[in-house]
Amino acid sequence: MTERLPWDHERLAVRRGRRSGVTTMVAIHSTALGPAAGGCRMRQYPSLDEAERDVLRLSAAMSAKCAVAGLAIGGAKSVIVLEPGQRLTPAERRAVLLDHAELIESLDGAYLAGPDVGTGPEDMLVLREGTRHVFCLPESAGGIGSSSGPTADGVLAALRAAVTAVFGAADLARRRVVVAGFGAVGRPLALGLAEAGADVVVSDVDPRAREDARWLGYGWAEPGEALAHPADVVVPAAVGGVLAADTPLAAPLVVGPANNQLVSDDVADALAARGVTWVPDYVASAGGVVYTVAREIEGLDHAAAAARVAGIGDVVSRLLSDSAEHGTTPLAEAAALTRRRISGVRPTAG
């Protein structure tokens, strides 16, 4: 196992699995607030360098996500690095998960793993064979299952708060909302929006999603055109790196769960200059970790944990109010709140 200490991260652990030969990584950004939690991502990467950059970016975002949400949890992330075109058989998948479990266990509880892109509750069950530091096992095994639903609920709470700030009322009826990414989070989010009366338009790179959207009564936008589709709100719910200073946007509000939506932080200022309100992705997407911590660490029941998730709306309202008062962006306010939380300096009431 090799380890390096990049940037402001506490630890980066990289290991080539003894069973599978597949490289896995864990990046721990901060344990200042508690043990570091973050999802286990399994996907193809063009190179190990790209995988390393991804795990470092994602782990830093998890620190901010947990801090802004008020959790006594630090930020981390892990990735299982598949080569381009690599497809695992069931036996190979099990082998690489067991290898990854060994890496997690070697960190002595500093990292708490959960599902992420490319993994799910059944994979967490395999990880549990090699380490106890795993969340979101299947409900049949005593876990809470997938956190996608709570993540979608948190985005909906964030969206309502942002719609109130931008349009003056929380009512989503007849608001056109484009959900760019019709996957594990995008689908339940689209359903919640439709139930609230929104005019829902969805987009996805999977062509099968178009027929699903038609059957459900949603509109459709081609993937390359989704962000520029005429709308009140755009919801990035798939890949990151989709927002640049010159990205065509027709909506005045962007709120979504996709990680690392901005190509660089200065895009937040450019969007604000264009009159676009962007709610930081790590704020909007915190529902999954908030719910998981409430259920699996604090022992709360579903109703109490769901109420915690709904509180994301209050966080967004405060960030938008502070950014308007201070002439800053919501990202700047979220970053300042993160620094205060991690350093132990709490904001004064008011």
Our answer to whether residue 65 is catalytic in this structure is: no
Q: Is 311 left (phi over 0), alpha (psi -120 to 50) or beta?
A: alpha
How far is the C-alpha of 350 from the C-alpha of 342, rounded, in Å? 20
Report how far residue 266's alpha carbon sits from residue 332's, in angstroms, rounded to the nearest whole number.
10
- Sheet containing 277-278: which strands, arranged edge to edge? 219-220, 199-203, 176-180, 233-236, 253-254, 277-278
> Which of 9, 11, 77, 133 is the catalytic position?
77
**Spatial separation of the C-alpha atoms in residues 239 and 257, rounded to whole Å:** 9
Distance CA 187, CA 281 (A): 18
Q: How many angstroms from the chain centroid is the CA of residue 21?
A: 28
Residue 202, beta-bridge partner list: 179, 220
Phi, psi of 207 (to 5 degrees): -60, -20
What DSSP string describes 18-72?
TTT--EEEEEEEE-SSSSEEEEEEEEE-S-HHHHHHHHHHHHHHHHHHHHHTT-S
Report d(CA 234, CA 75) in Å as an integer.
Answer: 27
| CA atoms of 240 and 5, how far apart (whole Å) | 24
Q: Which two tokens stand for residue 223?
A: 């993937």
Nearest to 19 by CA among 108, 130, 117, 114: 130
The DSSP annotation for 212-275 comes to HHHHHT-EE--GGGSTTSS-SEEEE-S-S--B-TT-----SEE----SS-BSSTTHHHHHHHTT
Instruction: Kindly give the residue spans of alpha helices, DSSP state H, lying in 131-179.
Output: 148-167
CA distance 255 to 175: 14
Residues noted as catalytic:
77
